[in-house]
Amino acid sequence: MERNRSAAEINNAGRIPPVYRAVMTAAGPIVRWWGRLEVVGVHHVPKHGATIIVANHDSAWDPVVIAVAARRHRQIQALAKASLWKNPLLRSVLNGMGQIPVRRGQADTDALDAAVQCLSAGGCLGIFPEGTRSQGRQLRARSGAGRLAQAVPQARIVCAAVSGTVDIARFPRRPRLKVTFFEPTPSPPSESALELATRLTAELRAVAPVAAAGRP
């Protein structure tokens, strides 16, 4: 399928695609300067090899902010909602960046296969175990992150707790963005995919509690 090829081809190329560079260059000043980005623990992100970045999700800005925070270490390919691909221009950008569409609320085996290909090729994949933005609610974890970790056991798992992104919409008030990378506690041998995803979510939320997006 087309989406699988775009993800695999970018990993096999061994270089950062021009579209990814362009997006990071455009987003960098917004995130780093205006957003006053603080990055903690980026040394936990390996510069090579299969890596799963799991993160909390309160704002549409989260994937961009995390990507900017990790930019000097890795390009992050992410699982994103398939509805974003309906816009032709956005679809071109997402494909150029190697992002992977996933159909929410379904057992999307195509998305899982593409994600496994990305990791098997030594890529760095980003995923939100909660599945969608919290919108101020405490959400239960989905099993996807755990299933990926089990499918590619050699992949390293790194948590990315992001905070402050909900304040980006509160212009002209400047946000204070922060991304904290850390390694999760080791998995017990009998832990299921859902249990792993649930534990990762709890560890993320201990660092970055749920926050409602938009203006109060």
pLDDT tens sequence across 139-166:
999 999 999 999 999 999 999 999 999 9
**Confidence label for 215 from pLDDT (cuts 50, 70 and 90):** low
Contacts of 1 (CB under 8 A, 6+ apart): 110, 114
**Confidence label for 107 from pLDDT (cuts 50, 70 and 90):** low
Q: Is 150 left (phi over 0), alpha (psi -120 to 50) or beta?
A: alpha
Global pTM? 0.90
Q: How many CB atoms lie within 10 A of CB 46?
A: 14
**What does DSSP say about strands 100-102 and 156-163: parallel, antiparallel, or unpaired?**
unpaired
pLDDT of residue 158: 98
> Is the per-residue pLDDT at 106 higher than 70?
no
Go through the domains of the chain in sequence order and give each one's CATH number. Answer: 2-207 (3.40.1130.10)
- The answer to whether 74 and 156 have CB atoms below 8 angstroms apart is no
pLDDT of residue 10: 47
Short-list 79, 83, 82, 95, CA closest to 20: 95
**Confidence label for 18 from pLDDT (cuts 50, 70 and 90):** very high
pLDDT of residue 130: 94
Measured between alpha carbons, how far is residue 129 from residues 56, 85, 141, 175, 194 in Å?
A: 7, 21, 5, 25, 10
Using the structure block, give the residue that is written with the tokens 């021009």. 18
> Is the per-residue pLDDT at 102 higher than 90?
no
What single string gives the DSSP state of each residue in 162-193?
Answer: EESGGGGGSTTSPP--EEEEEPPPPPPTT--H
Residues 18, 156: Cα–Cα separation, whole Å: 26
Short-list 179, 180, 185, 188, CA closest to 203: 185
Q: Write out the two tokens for 195.
A: 């249990």
Percent of the chain with pLDDT strictly greater than 90? 74
Mean pLDDT computed over 50-62: 96
